[in-house]
Amino acid sequence: MGIFPKSLLAKLEQRKQNNALRSLPLRNNLIDFSSNDYLGFSKSESIFDITHQFLLDRNIKINGATGSRLLSGNHRLYQETEDLIVKFHQSETALIFNSGYDANLGFFSAVPQRNDVILYDELCHASIRDGIQLSNAKSYKFSHNDFEDLEIKIKNLELKIKNQEVYIVTESVFSMDGDCPNLEELTQLSEKHNCNLVIDEAHSLGVFGEKGQGLVQELQLQNKVFARIMTFGKGLGCHGASILGSQNLKDYLVNFARSFIYTTGLSPHSVATILVAYQEFEANTIQIEKLRENIIHFNQEKQIFGLKPMFVRSKSAIQSAIIPGNQNVKNIAKQIQEKGFDVKAILSPTVPEGQERLRICLHSYNSKEEISEVLRLLSNYVF
């Protein structure tokens, strides 16, 4: 195999010394407080069976897309599923990508042009930041959910640039903190300065909105947003993503988004699963209601146990308890896991040093007793 580069070995060793070396965990039988499967759709036998029968009824018995969507991979299920997504999300168009990472990479590397400017929240997901790095546009971060800082940056730009586009980028639910920006204030700011607002709704789909449509639609702001990125691997329980926007945006992405153009499409089974999962949103809101009840219960219980000050304020399914120090947070996570609960430690450099945390994900299938017990254990180990 040859000699492994010394510089890479040194980086691995540094990770070990910082107690931050990543490894691939095996699945366990612990009570789930770590996955993004907020509604349990990934484990739904009903969705699995309906998807299977749907493919049989359509006589679709192939395992792969066979090519990119621009060549041989654009099977007829894509159009049907994108049409359903458009109706569900009250958008002009939808374009399915293979993953949320691919969607963000494709959008940000292709849409903002040279001399355009991207202003992004400092806590935006790695896929957004990686896409921005591939862009020819200039980019600047603004302080997390701080729209005064954002407006100062916009006004400074207005003095320097003319006839260029400005893109404001944020998430409706932040993946590590679980908090939400004030989207009503942000849309007003965006309109005031003629900016293009882009919102990643990966952790909002299935959690907010009457039928899980996301926070943008819950606030009735869908017509004020340039683009929404909806990721299907969380609340929808399957795989893939879509970018929602105008017909011009869809046409542009089909022609210029490299992560869309140069990859094999999703299999018919994957696209059918997306379709059936969206139909489940339409037909059954019970799991969404259960999840919301559990979020309320969690927030009430963390107050009762005196844990509220250590948690990031959140009304989403993601609840983060800040416990500084990689080894410290790993030890507490291990103790809770030994009691039967799958709670994960998030270490630096995934989050900034000193901001290490337990990331507790809530689900519709967690019982209130389980939620209370996790918080009781946490209070025992931190106090």
Q: Sketch the domain layout of the chain as residue ranges.
A: 28-41+285-382, 62-283
Domains 28-41+285-382 and 62-283 equal at CATH topology level: no
Residues 115/135, Cβ–Cβ less than 8 Å: no
Residues 6+ apart with CB under 8 A from 305: 375, 376, 378, 379
Listed in sequence order, the residues at least 6 apart from 209 whose beta carbon sits closer than 8 Å to its beta carbon are 215, 217, 218
What span, in angstroms and rounded, lies between the C-alpha atoms of 325 and 329? 6
Q: What is the per-residue pLDDT for 19? A: 85
Token pair, residue 277, equals 């999962």
167 DSSP β-pair partners: 118, 196
CATH class of 62-283: alpha beta
CA 343, 204, 365, 55 torsion-angle sign = negative
CA dihedral 106, 110, 114, 115 (to 10 degrees): -70
Residues found in the chain: 383
CATH architecture for segment(s) 28-41+285-382: Alpha-Beta Complex (3.90)
Determine the residue type at 301: E
Greatest CA separation for the chain? 60
Question: Nearest Cα to 359, choosing from 317, 320, 333, 306?
Answer: 320
Prior bond of 324 cis (ω within 30°): no
Tens of pLDDT, residue by residue, the chain (383 residues): 789 999 999 999 999 998 889 899 888 899 999 999 999 999 999 999 999 999 999 999 999 999 999 999 998 999 999 999 999 999 999 999 999 999 999 999 999 999 999 999 999 999 999 999 999 999 999 999 999 999 999 999 877 777 789 999 999 999 999 999 999 999 999 999 999 999 999 999 999 999 999 999 999 999 999 999 999 999 999 999 999 999 999 999 999 999 999 999 999 999 999 999 999 998 889 999 999 999 999 999 999 999 999 999 999 999 999 999 999 999 999 999 999 999 999 999 999 999 999 999 999 999 999 999 999 999 999 87
Cα dihedral sign for 105, 107, 113, 119? negative
Residue entry with tokens 């893109």: 167
Cα(2)–Cα(260) distance, rounded to whole angstroms? 35
Burial (CB count within 10 angstroms: exposed 0-12, middle 13-18, buried 19+), residue 181: buried
Question: Which tokens go with 84?
Answer: 């359903």
pLDDT score recorded for residue 15: 92
Which residues are CB-neighbours of 320 under 8 A, at least 6 positions away? 176, 177, 178, 311, 312, 314, 346, 357, 358, 359, 360
pLDDT at 35: 97
Taking the model in full, what pTM does it have? 0.95
Backbone angles phi, psi at 226, to 5 degrees: -70, -45
